[in-house]
Amino acid sequence: MKKEIHPKYYPKAEVTCSCGATFTTGSTMEKIEIEICSACHPFFTGEEKILDTGGRVEKFKKRQAAASGTK
């Protein structure tokens, strides 16, 4: 490996989320600020909502039932 061409590695880089959660990781940046993390993301918190715009799910279910011959 060539010397003096690689950035400094911080094995205990501090990551701070906008929700206030912090954790450490390895990075070439000493401090990292992020907007969303696993502590506040809806997928991980269980608050995920599926939006049914224009009844697409119902439309799909009707087509599927018609194709299989059941209603």
- What is residue 67's three-state secondary structure? helix
Per the annotation, binding residues for Zn(2+) are 17, 19, 37, 40
Q: What's the predicted TM-score (pTM) here?
A: 0.56
Is the predicted pLDDT of residue 16 greater than 70, yes or no? Answer: yes
Per the annotation, binding residues are 17, 19, 37, 40
Residue 68 confidence (pLDDT): 85
List, as one string, the DSSP characters of 29-71.
Answer: SSEEEES--TTT-HHHHT------GGGHHHHHHHHHHHHHT--
Q: Name all domains of the chain by residue range, CATH numbers in brackets.
A: 10-68 (4.10.80.400)
Would you place residue 60 in the very low, low, confident or very high pLDDT band (cuts 50, 70, 90)? confident
- Per-residue pLDDT of 18-59, as tens digits, reads 999 999 999 999 999 999 888 888 777 777 666 666 778 888
Residue 70 confidence (pLDDT): 63
